[in-house]
Structure 1
Amino acid sequence: MTDLSTELIIFCILARLPPRYVVKYKTICKEWRALLSTQQFEQAHCSHSALPSNQRTILIPDLNCSVYQMDFGTGNYGPQTIIPFPIQVGIENVGVLAHLDGLLCAYLLPTKVLVLWNPTSNAYKHLSSSHGHGIYEDITDTVGLYKGPSNDYNVLHVTRASTVIQAHIYSRKSGTWRRIPFNTKPEYTSSNFYWSPGTVCGGTLYFTVCVCWKLTEINFPPVPPTGIFQGILANVRNTLHMLLWTGIHEMALQLWALQGDQWVSMFSAPPIPPMPLETWLTITHYMTNGKWFVMNGPHKLHEFSVDDNPLECFYPVSWFRGHIGTIYIETVVSPYV
């Protein structure tokens, strides 16, 4: 077998296979194991994995990791698959903060340690260091996961303590943390301000910051003067979108897209009949083939039409402090280099 034929097999054929098959082919020989473990293969595999059929929902109540595949015909979750959480000793809960290319950034209670975890391979890595980095305070901190130079996966960790905001970046490539300059308004040091996890779009991380239910600092779409409202950011085809829902006893939904410095309304949904507040604060939504499904847990709630604007994406939408699950794509990306 020539080098050329090996590369063709690895990068043109195996890169299109589901991750579970890639794992099997790693056992064929040392050469294949080495090639299938490179960053080049990770990138090739990710480029073919960004398909609706490879998207999964994971819910982690009480360390019972339930994985679902979407049924694209009905909009419901498919059969449930239980996977073991790889870290259980001394752990009481898990919060998922961010996801990118099959990697999840989560924090563990009560240790508060950040981890990178691929639920497909169940490989994970603790991000804590001897210098005290990688320790996540749920009320004050926030996290963003993004891909930096040389396709290096990075974790931005913003901390607020003693009226000081600091930002550190973890590099998967070097396995180390570094501090970066981070300037923002002094009032954001207050624990009264809540930060959403970061949404990466076009090489930039975006955060929603709110205080007393009034959103600030972001050029926000129009909202009603009364009632509770919440905006969640999502990257739809590399354009920043916001799902905005408002109301107390009835919930209204709107989808906005940021074009330049203006928000443009994509669609509005009529008010949904009364539902408990704790229900719509933990909603996920799914968009594909012109359909929009508003969901809570594994049960579909309502369905809307998006007319001629198909959005073949599946995104998590949750209350800022309700990180009990997320959406991810099955890949072979490792928490390690």
Structure 2
Amino acid sequence: MVDLSVEIIVFEILTRAPAKVVGRSKSVCKEWYALLSRQDFAKIHCSRSLNSSNQRILMVSDLTCSIHQIDIRSCDYGPGTIVDFPFNDISIHSHLDGFLCVCLDSTFELLLWNPVTGAYKNLSTPDFHGTYQNNLDAVGLYIDASQDYKVLHIKRRCGVYGAHVYSRRLDSWRNIPFITRPEYIRQSFYWSSGTLCGDTLYFTVSESYIDGVNVVICFDVNLEQFKEISFPPVPCNGIYKGELLNVKNELHMFVSTGYREMSIDLWKIEGEYWIKDFSCSGMITLDEWCSMSHFMTNGNWQLMTKQGKLYEIQVDTKPFECFYHPTCFRLKNGAMFLETVVSQTL
């Protein structure tokens, strides 16, 4: 029988183990605790966690948070595990590598939170960095070339835009230059949360009126520069809205048009141009499509609305078979995320 070294057990076996197994393994001894707490372990574990078996759903009610596993074959979910989180009434705005960026609705403070480990970091400061206002602000999570996790926070205050970046490594905020069209400052424009794809965060900026303006703002996470690109060329017929998603590191957008019965086109960006993947007509009603968010991918694509409904996209079938509603969540808030051991602190 061959004895395995601790390094092999930790970096070859436990980097492939579920996050909860890693957490329990920290109590084996001081050496294991030190190795399992290292940043290089967390990074390797996270890269090996990017599969459907580690995908979970966090559901938030007024009193509790719970994590549920997804059965990929049935698109259903099992009994939940209650999460110990000392705050009620949160809204979820972004996710990356098991992190969730959430806002405390009572105090408007932004937090980074890993529901699996229970660790969280309050990002607010006495000079009002890290405070979020609904319908005015937008946030996006990303990791830059130096492997530093960061939060981009775009604010609209008193008719002025501001862009601020939080560094987990430095535990501090700083302002960065941000110039955009003056009309986007108006409250009639709505900013989505950021969708990370490659080295760029993408935001949709949409005017709330019928036939209103729709654009995409791109933020290069390494150069810290912004630019604007167009929406896909979809003829507007009533309400017109796009939802971004990252599919295997390729940026896609669902564009919904219509009024009561929506037509939905899926587009993929190539360079700065949009190529249509497929179209569906009359597949989803107004009260369901308007709040799609918080999605992860797993081969087939799953989307979750803010109302808690789960939808699945099957891309290897004919277009009219692609979009269906497998199950329903009856809670006000939720997110799909991957279980990881990445920590909010160094």
TM superposition score normalised by structure 1: 0.85
Q: Does the C-alpha gap of structure 1 residues 168 and 6 become closer, same or farther in structure 2, counting only changes over 3 Å?
A: same
CA distance in 2, matches of 1:137, 1:123: 24
> Do structure 1's residue 129 and structure 2's residue 125 form an aligned pair?
yes
Q: Match for 1:98: what amino acid?
A: S
Distance 1:323 1:103, change over 3 A: farther
**What corresponds to 1:207 in structure 2?**
203
Contact map agreement 1:209 1:217 (CA 8 A) in 2:
yes
Moved more, 245-254 or 212-221: 212-221
State whether residues 267 and 306 of structure 1, in contact with CA within 8 Å, keep that contact through their aligned partners in structure 2. no
Q: How many angstroms does 1:323 deviate by?
A: 8.7
Contact 1:95 1:323 in 2 (8 A): no
Deviates more, 1:202-211 or 1:185-194: 185-194
Which residue matches 2:8? Answer: 8
In structure 1, the residue matched to 2:136 is: 140
Change (3 A) 1:24 1:236: same
Q: How many residue pairs end up in the alignment?
A: 315
How far apart are the structure 2 equivalents of 1:164 and 1:300? 37
RMSD: 2.5
Shift in Å at residue 228 of structure 1?
1.5
Correspondences of 1:30-179 after superposition (within 5 Å): 30-74=30-74, 76-88=75-87, 91=88, 93-179=89-175
* Cα distance per residue 1:136-183 (max 9 Å; x no partner): 111211101000232111011111111211111111111111111112
Cα offset for 1:301? Answer: 6.2
Q: Residues of 2 paired with 1:21 and 1:227: CA distance? A: 50
Alignment of 1:332 with 2:341, yes or no, is yes
Q: CA 1:293–1:95 in structure 2 vs 1: closer, same or farther (change >3 Å)?
A: closer
CA contact (8 A) 2:296 2:336 kept: no
Once the 2 structures are TM-superposed, how far is the Cα of residue 198 of structure 1 from its aligned partner?
Answer: 0.7
Q: Which moved more, 1:79-88 or 1:325-334?
A: 79-88
Quick check: 2:304–2:335 contact (8 Å CA) kept in 1?
no
Q: What is the alpha-carbon distance in structure 2 between the residues aligned to residue 129 and residue 11 of structure 1?
A: 37
Query: Secondary structure in 2 aligned to 1:120?
Result: coil
Which AA in structure 1 matches 2:60? I
Partners of 2:260 and 2:190 in 1: how far apart?
24
* TM superposition shift of 1:298: 6.1
C-alpha distance in 2 between matches for 1:243 and 1:199: 13
Specify the SS of the correspondent of 2:267.
strand
SS of the residue 1:183 aligns to: coil
Flag the 1:224–1:200 CA change in 2: closer, same or farther, 3 A.
Answer: same
* CA distance, structure 2, for counterparts of residue 325 and residue 332 of structure 1: 20
> For residue 235 of structure 1, what is the aligned residue in structure 2?
246
Call closer, same or farther: CA 1:292–1:20 in 2, change over 3 Å: closer
Runs of 5+ in structure 2 lacking a partner?
217-229, 320-330
What letter is aligned with 1:8? I
Corresponding position of 1:216: 214
Uncovered stretches (5+) of structure 1, i.e. residues with no partner: 310-321
> Which residue does 2:317 correspond to in 1?
307
Aligned partner of residue 332 in structure 1, secondary structure: coil
> Which has the larger displacement, 156-165 or 300-309?
300-309
Alignment equivalent of 2:287, drawn from 265, 278, 290:
278
CA separation of 1:298/1:170 partners in 2, compared to 1, >3 Å: closer, same or farther? closer
Inter-CA distance 130–143: structure 2 relative to 1 (3 Å threshold): same
Q: What displacement does 1:299 show?
A: 5.5
Bigger drift between 291-300 and 155-164 goes to 291-300
Q: Is the 8 A contact 2:308 2:334 kept in 1?
A: no
With over 3 angstroms needed to count, the CA separation of the structure-2 counterparts of 1:54 and 1:292, relative to structure 1, is closer
Further displaced range: 241-250 or 4-13: 4-13
State the secondary structure of the residue aligned to 1:8: helix
Q: Secondary structure at the match of 2:79?
A: strand
Return the alpha-carbon distance in structure 2 between the equivalents of residues 107 and 230 of structure 1: 24
Partner of 1:315: none
1:325: Cα distance to partner? 2.0
Amino acid in structure 2 at the alignment position of 1:66? S
